[in-house]
């Protein structure tokens, strides 16, 4: 009997249930990542043991097992083993960065409809039951948290309490919330008493960026690339803004454009409209290898409202189902000024670019390809730099392929023009490239957080508290320059493919060859050209 793609995906779940020994050892140290991102639901109701003893035991298991037959997959797996040895071994980031532990407490993964509700809620209850032990492990480990990191993450830590379900038993809720309060108290003490600097140092940052990507990183050269990209984007922004208003400075015009947005009740419908346009355009231009699957646009569940917009794909290790593009309108109880600033993200200028990033040809399209990746390693271990670099590349790809004029035609009479789409893409790109510059500056000691905030205010359309928030993120997310770095490497690879493939080069061929690798470390991207 003929099997459609969904049937093939379902049967693959059965075949891939048992991971190779070495891959399992990696997954056991990345439980929250592989459970949701890769759909490894054998980890439902469980957390990684990131206690000091648990990390030592987990690291000792890495590399035990046979080499993989495929040389690319072997290098891919080795990069993740080396990354864990670096982050949890040499740098011991589980002792200084609460994010490693906060991710293990996340309950939002059970909201996705990958299994019957009763099964998912039972797993959520087991997970919640594990909170006290997980918190104890976190407190035992987190003895090096700097004051800036603790301060920046306190809001995230406190917000975990909102995800504790009301329908849990009184006893379970009380025990879980008591554990949560212990963790928050630990971070509050770190915020008050911790070291004043969060800087990793240049050598540590270079290794933290390079080792997981199987490349050596020269931070000075990367900072130069960031500055050059900033300058290029400013030129593109100036050109696009001039088609809307040539009389004023580009960022002044941009800050006015983002104030044109739907109200809180209209943002989800606006995102649905742009999702339809993005998927239709991607299919019409045939930009990616797969155009199947359903993408639902919905208000984010309470457990995910810390993010303005995010995508949760139907992961490779689970039965096929809908992908969710979650939108978070501002809370009705917020002051009007705060609500208006939040809504600027969903402006008529920026929401289209955000949607092609999150949906098509960005994360949604990538998720469909990951389901067909040809090996367990490629379906399980994803380079965050490639994942975000691909989606960020997708934004500029849509400028190149003509999404702006396409959208102008399909929204005729709305006042939206191709220039508005371009401006939105350049604005988001300027934020991403400033993250790269700020991360390098903050962790090498060349910038304070306050100086990084000033750079955001000077080089992007965000100012004030929003700029400071972006700068503070560098303290606990030192690789958040991954969006721009990944995009630049993909663009360089595309030029290599053009040269080496000559007249046989095609955009779809290039994208298919690259996405066939899953979400590879950047240093292994060349396989796409060599095998494509």
Say if CB 141 and CB 54 are below 8 A apart. no
- In whole numbers, what is the pLDDT of the chain averaged over residues? 94
Same domain, 15 and 103: yes
Residue 355 has pLDDT above 80, yes or no: yes
Torsion of CA 17, 18, 23, 25, to 10 degrees: 110
Same domain, 149 and 169: yes
Give the Cα separation of 137 and 105 in Å (integer): 12
227 pLDDT band (50/70/90 cuts)? very high
17 pLDDT band (50/70/90 cuts)? low
Last residue of a domain, one of 146, 175, 208: 208
Q: Give the CA distances from residue 475 to residues 12, 114, 309, 450, in Å, rounded to whole numbers and listed in that order.
A: 40, 34, 22, 12
- Classify residue 528: in a domain, yes or no: no
Same domain, 413 and 376: yes
Last residue of a domain, one of 178, 208, 238: 208
Same domain, 186 and 236: no
Same domain, 223 and 198: no
Same domain, 179 and 229: no
- Classify residue 510: in a domain, yes or no: no
Q: Which residues does residue 312 pair with via DSSP β-bridges, in sequence order? A: 324
Please report, rounded to a whole number, the percentage of residues in the chain having pLDDT higher than 90.
90
Count of C-beta atoms within a 10 Å radius of residue 483: 26
2 pLDDT band (50/70/90 cuts)? very low
Same domain, 400 and 313: yes
Say if CB 349 and CB 258 are below 8 A apart. yes
Degrees (nearest 5) of the Cα angle 429, 324, 513?
A: 60
Same domain, 175 and 58: yes
Overall domain count for the chain: 2
Same domain, 293 and 241: yes
**Strands (DSSP E) found in 210-355:** 295-299, 309-312, 323-327
Q: Look at the alpha carbons of 423, 238, 464, 435 in this order and tell me if their dihedral is positive or negative.
A: positive
pLDDT at res. 152: 94
For the chain, count helices (H), then strands (E).
26, 3
- Classify residue 508: in a domain, yes or no: no
pLDDT digits (tens, 9 = 90+) for 371-383: 999 999 999 999 9
What is the Cα Rg of the chain in Å? 22
pLDDT digits (tens, 9 = 90+) for 163-190: 899 999 999 999 999 999 999 999 999 9
- Classify residue 522: in a domain, yes or no: no
Same domain, 350 and 257: yes
Degrees (nearest 5) of the Cα angle 315, 316, 320?
A: 70
More confident residue, 524 or 159: 524
- Classify residue 521: in a domain, yes or no: no
Question: Measured between alpha carbons, how far apart are the two ends of the chain, in Å?
Answer: 30
Residue 9 has pLDDT above 60, yes or no: no
Same domain, 40 and 106: yes
**Strands (DSSP E) found in 151-213:** none
List the domain range (segments joined by +) for residue 246: 217-488
- Classify residue 504: in a domain, yes or no: no
Q: Which residues does residue 309 pair with via DSSP β-bridges, in sequence order? A: 327
Last residue of a domain, one of 208, 243, 260: 208
Give the Cα separation of 522 and 222 in Å (integer): 14
Nearest to 373 by CA among 492, 293, 290, 494: 290
- Classify residue 509: in a domain, yes or no: no
Residue 4 has pLDDT above 80, yes or no: no
pLDDT at res. 301: 78
Q: What is the DSSP annotation of 357-413?
A: HHSTTTHHHHHHHHTT-SSHHHHH---HHHHHHHHHHHHHHHHHHTHHHHHHHHTTT
- Classify residue 295: in a domain, yes or no: yes
| DSSP structural state of residue 477 | -
Nearest to 518 by CA among 351, 323, 377: 377
SS3 of residue 88 by DSSP: helix
Same domain, 115 and 137: yes
């Amino acid at each position: 009997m003929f099997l459609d793609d969904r049937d093939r995906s379902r049967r693959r779940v059965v075949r891939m249930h048992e991971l190779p020994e070495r891959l399992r050892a990696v997954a056991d140290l990345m439980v929250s990542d592989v459970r949701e991102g890769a759909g490894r639901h054998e980890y439902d109701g469980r957390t990684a043991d990131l206690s000091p003893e648990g990390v030592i035991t987990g690291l000792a298991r890495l590399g035990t097992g046979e080499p993989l037959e495929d040389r690319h997959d072997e290098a891919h797996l080795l990069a993740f083993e080396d990354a864990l040895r670096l982050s949890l071994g040499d740098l011991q980031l589980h002792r200084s960065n609460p994010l490693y532990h906060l991710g293990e407490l996340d309950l939002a993964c059970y909201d996705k409809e990958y299994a019957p509700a009763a099964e998912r809620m039972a797993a959520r209850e087991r997970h919640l039951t594990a909170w006290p032990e997980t918190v104890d492990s976190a407190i035992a480990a987190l003895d090096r948290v700097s004051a800036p990191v603790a301060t920046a993450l306190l809001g995230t830590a406190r917000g975990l309490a909102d995800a504790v379900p009301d329908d849990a038993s009184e006893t379970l809720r009380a025990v879980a919330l008591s554990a949560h309060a212990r963790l928050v108290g630990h971070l509050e003490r770190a915020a008050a008493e911790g070291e004043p600097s969060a800087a990793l140092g240049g050598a540590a940052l270079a290794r933290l960026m390079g080792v997981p990507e199987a490349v050596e990183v020269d931070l000075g050269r990367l900072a130069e690339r960031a500055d050059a990209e900033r300058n290029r984007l400013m030129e593109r922004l100036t050109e696009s803004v001039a088609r809307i208003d040539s009389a004023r400075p580009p960022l002044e015009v941009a800050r006015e454009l983002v104030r044109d947005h739907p109200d809180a009740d209209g943002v989800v419908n606006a995102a649905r409209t742009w999702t339809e346009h993005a998927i239709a355009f991607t299919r019409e231009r045939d930009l990616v290898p797969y155009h199947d699957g359903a993408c639902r646009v919905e208000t984010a569940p309470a457990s995910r409202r810390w993010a303005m917009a995010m995508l949760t794909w139907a992961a490779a290790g689970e039965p096929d189902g809908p992908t969710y593009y979650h939108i978070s309108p501002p809370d009705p109880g917020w002051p009007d000024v705060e609500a208006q600033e939040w809504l600027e993200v969903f402006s008529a200028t920026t929401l289209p670019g955000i949607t092609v990033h999150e949906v098509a040809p960005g994360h949604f399209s990538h998720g469909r390809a990951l389901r067909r990746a040809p090996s367990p390693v490629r379906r399980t271990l994803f380079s965050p730099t490639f994942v975000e670099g691909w989606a960020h590349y997708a934004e500029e790809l849509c400028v190149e392929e003509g999404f702006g004029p396409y959208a102008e035609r399909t929204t005729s009479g709305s006042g939206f023009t191709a220039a508005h789409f371009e401006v939105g893409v350049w604005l988001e790109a300027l934020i991403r490239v400033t993250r790269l510059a700020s991360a390098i500056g903050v962790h090498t000691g060349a910038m304070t957080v306050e100086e990084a905030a000033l750079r955001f205010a000077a080089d992007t359309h965000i100012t004030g508290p929003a700029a400071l928030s972006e700068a503070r993120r560098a303290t606990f997310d030192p690789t958040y320059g991954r969006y721009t770095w990944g995009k630049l490497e993909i663009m360089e690879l595309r030029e290599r493919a053009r040269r080496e493939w000559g007249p046989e080069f095609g955009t779809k061929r290039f994208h298919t060859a690259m996405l066939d690798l899953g979400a590879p470390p950047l240093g292994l991207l060349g396989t796409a050209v060599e095998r494509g």
